[in-house]
Amino acid sequence: MDYINAFWVGGLICALAQILLDKTKLMPGRIMVILVCTGAVLSAFRVYDGFADFAGAGATVPLIGFGHLLYQGVRDAVDESGLLGLFMGGLTASATGISAALIFGYLASLIFRPKMKD
Amino acid sequence: MTDNGKNEQTAKKYEKYVKKVTPTHSLPLNMAKAFLVGGLICVLGQYILNTAETMGLGQEEAGSWCSLILIFLSVLLTGLNVYPKLAKFAGAGTLVPITGFANSVAAPAIEYQKEGQVFGIGCKIFTIAGPVILYGVLSSWILGVVYYVMQLWR
């Protein structure tokens, strides 16, 4: 059952983003920014936890899950260390994803050569 | 008068021509493709989550492994020039998942390697990751400030 929920929820988010991509002049980069900020807002209004319990990876794999991770990190760090937590929690929680993308991305530039566009 | 009529005719002809030449983008079809591919990437993520949890990892660790593996696969497929082809088919289906973020990091790093370590790879690797990280951190900070103030109130 968790596979089915992950599939249709994750798929639905992508299909909705496709409307933005086709019907507006928003560039992919802008859509990614919008998704991450939306995730942070949803998380702040406490709608994300129930949503993530229901949809599993369907809620966490899309980039809105990245926003959720950032806000959740900030919130937990504020609970733990107060004002300082505001500046600590976000990047701590998202460290794996950001570091992995940067490190693998850099290594890829050493291994692979640019391809011709077709 | 006759001149005007002629202009109108050519305008109509041109309109017809433009319509014929412009590739037709069917929104429902594009949405279906995005739904299918995006959904499948999430299913793969769910499989990694489930596997990690049966290995005894906590929810948070399982989530980190899930991101890590998906990002690795995406970067690998970007390097092999498979991800761009998939993206051409799937549109937002490959853009929205975390794999799209990884692709947006790896693709410019590979593309601009000739421009040097610092101003090529170093700068261009953040072309899309930079804004995403900046506004993600900023928005969660602002919301965090609201949360902090609300906690003081209690």
For residue B79, pLDDT over 90 is answered with yes
Q: Give the pLDDT band (50/70/90) at residue B122.
A: very high
Percent pLDDT > 70 in chain B is 95
Which of the four pLDDT bands, split at 50, 70 and 90, describes residue B32? very high
User: B142 to chain A: nearest residue by CA?
Assistant: A86
Lowest mean pLDDT among A47-56, B21-30, B40-49, B66-75: B21-30
CB contact under 8 A, B31 and A19: yes
pLDDT for B100? 96
Residue A59 · residue B42 · CB < 8 Å: no
Got the DSSP string for B15-43? HHHHHHHSPP--HHHHHHHHHHHHHHHHH
Are the Cβ atoms of B147 and A78 closer than 8 angstroms? Answer: yes
Provide, as residue numbers in chain B, all residues whose Cβ is less than 8 Å from the Cβ of A82: 148
pLDDT recorded at residue B149: 95
Q: Do B42 and A21 touch (CB under 8 A)?
A: no
Q: Which of A37, A89, A115 sits opposite B136 (nearest CB)?
A: A37
Pairwise CB contact (< 8 Å): A66 & B136: yes
Q: Which tens digits make up the pLDDT trace of B123-137?
A: 999 999 999 999 999
φ, ψ of residue B29 in degrees (nearest 5): -65, -45
Calpha distance B15→B5 (Å, rounded) = 15
Amino acid at A10: G
Interface contact flag, A115 B91, Cβ < 8 Å: no
> What does the alpha-carbon distance between residue A68 and residue A46 come to, in Å, rounded to a whole number?
10
Chain B residues within an 8 Å CB radius of A113 = 110, 113
Residue B122 to chain A, least CA–CA distance (Å): 9
Q: What is the pLDDT of residue B22?
A: 67
Question: Using a CB-CB distance cutoff of 8 angstroms, which residues of chain B are in contact with residue A23?
Answer: 27
Domain ranges in chain A? 2-111
Q: What is the pLDDT of residues B94-104, one digit of tens each?
A: 999 999 999 99
Which residues in chain A are contacts of B95 at CB distance < 8 A? 14, 17, 21, 28, 31-32
Question: Which pLDDT score is estimated for A63?
Answer: 95
pLDDT at B19: 72
- Closest-CA distance, A29 to chain B, in angstroms, reads 6
d(CA B38, CA B97): 7
| pLDDT average, residue stretch B24-40 | 91
In terms of Cα–Cα distance, which of A70, A52, A44 is closest to B136?
A: A70
Q: Which residues of chain A have pLDDT under 70?
A: 116-118
Question: Rounded to a whole number, what is the distance in angstroms from the first to the last CA of chain B?
Answer: 78
In this prediction, residue A117 carries a pLDDT of 55
